Structure 1
């Protein structure tokens, strides 16, 4: 699950890497925006980035900031509702959001650390993602996995920095910050 443009109401730290964020986000139901609260539980496996794609700690997030997040299914029956955060991207209002791209894997090039999504038979309809040492890759259970565990046909959510894809290179190319298997 994911939310975008949620507002941080509270940051609670157990230490610099663990704790929780209480957020408010808009949930759209029948053309109406309804504000919902959610507690994002943060542990040492949670990837936390700033708006430039750099790793930060939970202690760097402040009340009033905006966050985008990928998280586990919401745990029912808890007040406030809670979920375990897999990825959090924090930013201030004047910083642009990072981009999330959901698509199926077309090809994995392990030797060159590349991941292609889109139509496997048409390079015009593909995006080439550069996988670097800072790229995190997680399976459906949010466990870290290597690039070699990815294969064509998997549905993934790829987080990239501010890329406009307006270049003349085919396929379009971007640096992947985080890859989440869906």
Structure 2
């Protein structure tokens, strides 16, 4: 009996679908291009199920929704999340195969504990929902935060503000995921931001 929650690929004409795929790896080039590698189950003979992966290419045309139907940014998808995906039946013959994704629905967030960081704002990128903190001239001291639309941002009085309200030099307290990318500067997801 297989207790693995991963779903199998289902083909419907020129479109393929996976329900309950596990995000194994992500690449985010900017907030309009990236890819995710997901694993899914493949039923085989003798009641055996194998786990395989596929890389789904994400573009500005890919619709990405959270479990509430709200838009999410490409860079907000992190390893450990569960997603449902609709993508093209045209795939490369690479390992893993690649296909262009039409729709990604994030079903669950990683259950990683959060960490709190207090630092100075370098730049708030409203267009790409990003916040850069640290010392402006020292890239090794900087951190890039992905700021989903659902992330609460508050001023000193605790009132909600927009990402555009953050200015260079402001001191902020950011509660964020306890994992980050290996890039320079490292990148992680902000859960809440408060101006101090």
Q: TM-score, normalized by length of structure 2?
A: 0.45
- For the pair shown, which has the larger CA radius of gyration, 1 or 2? 2
